[in-house]
Structure 1
């Protein structure tokens, strides 16, 4: 039912109820014997009952319509964010393939291998993101748990999870970006860290949230050129779009730690 219909129903019900009662009381044979005081009590009680019933129905209808509109808006936001990520993926792959040709012509096989790994990582993440339809309404916590469960099976790396996220805390677009960050981080751990253990701690509070990812792998120093560093650069770009902060620390043979902090957007 449209808002226009609700408006006219709201206007007509009290008019018909009160006007019709007064008309019957003054002209109808079965109400002519009713006293003025009794009629006033009767119309007051009748108006209350009808108004209560109508209000409950109307607000329930409005709530259902608002929920539907909100759901459609969230799904549209997810598709828009996916389209944006798809465009970025297309542009990045095109640039990476160009650089790959250049490195292969120059015989720089190590650099070429880094680029191939980055393409592989990006494509795998994109394929997984497209598997889940926005209409399925899978929570961010569940998506993270499902993906990391598959990651754990493939990698064989021990994993500790601590996820405490309030539902609907993040916008659909933010959820897509955060999920992409987690995918990138754990893909790097699986491919490049030689870690035996990894962990994820993700918690939300009324005004802020924190995401911590750790591993006990081989780590890296600032002057090393590693395949995983390309992924870390991509993570920093995503974090900048989220408007949050990221701190990446690592020591040789002592693992790595990524801390991402953000503020709840009103």
Structure 2
């Protein structure tokens, strides 16, 4: 329903309610109800309609306005990304291209001597930088996705660091949207994932490490750090040296999330679940 129609309904429903009540009262109830009783009931009838029908219209209006604000924010973000992409293309990218041309000319002019390998090295560096800029431009022109949100990128970097230290393969799968989490949930989830990845570094000896973030579509999520390493020799929440995972469980409990740390098939799973609709 259009916002303008909702506003008109909010204005007219109380008036129509009292008008309909007066008509019914005088046409059908007057022999059975005194004027004083009718006048006494009128504001309560309007209040009841307001708390039911009008209140639901206010909720729909607020939801519509929130959706409009999100759409405006998304549109502004996309416009800013496009502006940055244009600036990169028109500025740095063009300058790198011209620099590459100059280096080609220098390389052609110098037949031998120490300058030639230096020019070749510089040309290769410029080529790599130019490719990086082109990829950045392409990324900016793509719509933002859940796994490229600003607060999610450090999780990806933590996974990359863990994979580098343990010489394991990293798999990052994330579709929890930015707006579905509060700022506090983002902070707590980041801390939990970080501690779980530190645990993988210390104990797992894994060949593949996974960070998974799955939305349930109703405001809830499942987040997990999984690996195919050695697993737990004892209950990790009772082992005297596993303070980190106990702190992670405490964090999850305070947030009202379900926490699990267990072996499932060939994977060790550290998991947090928030049920949809949970505050």
- Structure 1 segment 82-121 matched on structure 2, within 5 A: 82-91=81-90, 92-107=92-107, 108-121=119-132
Q: Which residue of 1 aligns with 2:67?
A: 68
Query: Is 2:137 aligned against 1:123?
Result: no
Instruction: Kindly report which structure 2 residues correspond to 1:174-213, keeping only aligned pairs within 5 A, or say none.
Output: none
Task: Give the deviation of 1:36 after TM superposition.
Answer: 2.1
CA shift, 1:11, in A, is: 3.0
Task: Determine if contact 1:21/1:43 at 8 Å carries over to the other structure.
Answer: yes
Structure 2 unaligned runs (5+)? 108-118, 167-177, 184-279
Counterpart CA distance in 1 for 2:158 and 2:121 is 29
Please give the alpha-carbon distance, in whole angstroms, between the structure 2 residues aligned to 1:48 and 1:11: 14
**Aligned counterparts of 2:33 and 2:182: Cα–Cα separation in 1:** 57
Partner of 1:143: 153
**Matched residue, 1:36:** 35
| Secondary structure in structure 1 of the residue aligned to 2:151 | helix
- The alpha-carbon deviation at position 74 of structure 1 amounts to 2.1
Deviation at 1:129, TM superposition (A): 5.0
Tell me the TM-score normalized by structure 2.
0.48
Cα offset, 1:55, TM superposition: 3.3
* SS class of match (1:33): coil
CA distance, structure 2, for counterparts of residue 82 and residue 55 of structure 1: 41
Per the alignment, do residues 151 and 39 of structure 1 end up closer, same or farther by CA in structure 2, a change over 3 Å counting? same
Q: Report the secondary structure of 2:28's partner residue.
A: coil
Q: Does the aligned pair in 1 maintain the 2:93–2:134 contact within 8 Å?
A: no
How does the TM-score come out when normalised to structure 1?
A: 0.50
**Distance (Å, rounded) in 1 between the aligned partners of 2:44 and 2:37:** 11
In structure 1, the partner of 2:54 is 55
Higher-RCO chain (CA-CA 8 Å, sequence separation at least 6): 1
Please report how far the alpha carbon of residue 130 of structure 1 lies from its aligned counterpart in structure 2 after TM superposition: 5.5
**Compared with structure 1, are the counterparts of its residues 137 and 62 closer, same or farther at alpha carbon in structure 2 (3 Å cutoff)?**
farther
Cα separation, partners in 2 of 1:135 and 1:104, compared to 1, 3 Å:
closer
* Cα distance change, pair 38–72 in 1 and its aligned pair in 2 (3 A): same
Q: Shift of the alpha carbon at 1:150?
A: 4.5
Q: Residue 140 of structure 1 aligns to a residue in which SS? A: coil
CA–CA separation in structure 2 for the residues paired with 1:125 and 1:72? 24
Please report how far the alpha carbon of residue 8 of structure 1 lies from its aligned counterpart in structure 2 after TM superposition.
2.3
Does the 8 Å contact 2:17/2:46 carry over to 1? Answer: yes
C-alpha RMSD of matched pairs (Å): 3.1
